[in-house]
Amino acid sequence: MGARITLARGDITTQDVDAVVNAANSGLLGGGGVDGAIHRAGGPAILAACRELRATTLPDGLPTGQAVATTGGNLPAAHVIHTVGPVHAKREDRSELLASAYRESLRVADEIGARTVAFPAVSAGIYGWPMDDAARIAVGTVAATPTDVEEARFVLFGDEAYDAFRRAVDALD
Ligand code: AR6
C-alpha cells in the first residue's frame, strides 16, 4: 500500500508529524533553505547526531539519493530523515536519483516506525530542479512506493510550489 498523499502550505519545521524529511547535502552538517530552517528550529541535537554519523557510519557523507534518520531535537517531529537530492543538470537526466531520495526516505521512515511524514520539494530550491518536474517525480514516486507510512504530507513554501504539487496530485487520478 502507498501512503495517502496530502498537501500543505507553509513551514515544514512546525508540522506535527512523526518525521520531517530534510533536503540536505552529502556533508550532512547543515546548509541553507529547508536544511538551515530545520537545524535552526530543531536545535543543536540534530547537528550533533549528524556529526556522530559522519564520525561513524558515514565518514564520506550521505550519497545522493540516499536517506538517514536522526533525532528531531526540539521539532514537534521526533525524527528528521535527511536525504540528498541531485543538483539539477540540463545535460544529464538525474530523475532516478530524485525518485530514489523519496523512496529511500520512505524506507527509512518504515525502519523507524514513522506513520506520518512531511516532505519538502527536494532539489527544487538551491539545487535548481524545475518545480513542475520536481513535483511530478515527488508525487509519482511516493504514490508508487509500498510503505507502512499512512500520510505523506508535502509541505510547500509558496503558491508556485503548492500549485505544482496540486497539479501533480490531480494528474494521478
Ligand atoms: N519549509 C518548507 N519548505 C521550505 C522551507 C521550509 N521551512 N524552506 C525552504 N523550503 P532547498 P534543495 C523550500 O533549497 O533544492 C541546502 O543548502 C524551498 O522553497 O531547501 O534540495 C542544503 O544543505 C524549495 O521549494 O533544497 C543543500 O546544500 C524546497 O524547500 C541544498 O540546499 C527545497 O529547497 C539542497 O537544495
* Distance from Cα 33 to the centre of ligand 1, integer Å: 4
pLDDT at 93: 98
* Distance from Cα 13 to the centre of ligand 1, integer Å: 12
3-state secondary structure of 18: coil
Nearest residue (by CA) to ligand 1, atom 21, is 123
- Which segments within 76-163 are labelled E, that is strand? 79-83, 116-119, 151-156
Is the CB of 131 inside a 6 Å radius of any atom of ligand 1? no
Residues 139, 48 contacting (CB under 8 angstroms): no
Residues forming beta bridges with residue 69, ordered by sequence position: 81
Averaged over 7-25, what is the pLDDT?
A: 98
* Distance from Cα 115 to the centre of ligand 1, integer Å: 23
Please provide the CATH number assigned to the domain covering 4-172: 3.40.220.10
Averaged over 3-30, what is the pLDDT?
A: 98
Is the CB of 19 inside a 6 Å radius of any atom of ligand 1? no
pLDDT at 1: 77
**pTM reported for the whole predicted model:** 0.98
Is the CB of 22 inside a 6 Å radius of any atom of ligand 1? no
pLDDT at 64: 98
What digits encode the pLDDT tens for the residues 43-53? 999 999 999 99
Q: Which residues are catalytic?
A: 35
What grid cell was written down for 132? 513542475
